[in-house]
Amino acid sequence: MTTPRYGAVLLTMNDRPDDFPLALKSLLAQTAVELEVVVVGNGVEPEQVPHGIKTVTLPENVGIPEGRNVGAHALETSPDLLFFLDNDAVLTETDTLARLADELARDPLRAYIQPRIADPDTGVTVRRWVPRLRASDPTRPGTVTVMAEGVVVIRRDAFEEAGRWPGHFFLYHEGIDLSWRIWNLGYTGYYAPHLVIHHPASDPARHDRYYRLVARNRVWLALRLLPWPLIPPYLTIWVVLTVTRIHSPKALRTWFKGFREGFTGGWKQRSPLSWRTIARLTRAGRPPLI
């Protein structure tokens, strides 16, 4: 059997001095794979990086998806698989990457695979980490149409062909955008919950920026990738869901500010999904409306 060849990308802003070394240590401990690691300093010079690990220093914070693009571009070994890991996540077993590669290879149409993400203290997998609608049972495996982008393996050829992460999103929804573009190439994604990675279950909604960017990027996602007839129902559904879910008037005002901002431009090239892809996503259990 061929040894899986990985390129792994971690971002840092030197703001997690306890978590980052553990994440990197768990990555470097992986066995039965060939592994190249790149650490990208998003507006900082990376600290706490062992000798021999390549680093890239960006003069400013370009956001998570573009930082990951920079890291992937900096890889020198032309790996077959890319692994994107949040800098506060920890691989719990030394053979996790090898087993993920094995699962990915079971079906040639699989272009990305996500393990189950669980809080290290409680063992809980929060809803946003389960890449499907019916998230009540996070241990159920299967084909998925989106991804939790902070812990995911992607075939490098599909990643490049799909056009990489949407760097201009800065943060939030970039995993949906990339997943849909990968599906539009004829590939699929897979969720392998028997493989577990630890990640603290922090709440992204604690920041005002969260509400603005998730709303703006939701509009950008629709304008970039949905056929015109699906854009009004898609955005209407998300307005209704948001008004139902968010009870803070301040948070709602911030969300609608981001929603309006999304229509002012910035989504870049429009490349709508084919109706065949819409049908495939729907058959897979998640029509691109919700």
For residue 210, pLDDT over 80 is answered with: yes
Does the CA dihedral 248-167-82-21 come out positive or negative? negative
Rounded mean pLDDT, 263-284: 96
Q: How many CA atoms lie within 13 A of 241 on its CB side?
A: 10
Residues with Cβ < 8 Å from 137, sequence gap 6 or more?
A: none
Closest C-alpha among 71, 24, 76, 70 to residue 50: 24
pLDDT value at residue 1: 64
Q: pLDDT grade, residue 45 (50/70/90)?
A: very high
- Per-residue model confidence as pLDDT tens digits over 46-90: 999 999 999 999 999 999 999 999 999 999 999 999 999 999 999
Supply the mean pLDDT for the chain: 96
Q: Residue 150 and residue 83: Cα distance in Å, rounded?
A: 9
For residue 206, pLDDT over 80 is answered with: no
Burial group, residue 206, by CB count within 10 angstroms (0-12, 13-18, 19+): exposed
Helix (H, G, I), strand (E, B) or coil at 94: coil
DSSP symbol at 34: E
CB atoms within 10 A of CB 196: 19
Where along the chain do its domains lie? 5-198, 205-270
Pick the CATH number of 5-198 from 3.65.10.10, 3.90.550.10, 3.40.50.1820, 2.70.98.50: 3.90.550.10
- Per-residue model confidence as pLDDT tens digits over 121-174: 999 999 989 998 887 899 999 999 999 999 999 999 999 999 999 999 999 999
Rounded mean pLDDT, 207-227: 95
Rounded mean pLDDT, 258-263: 98
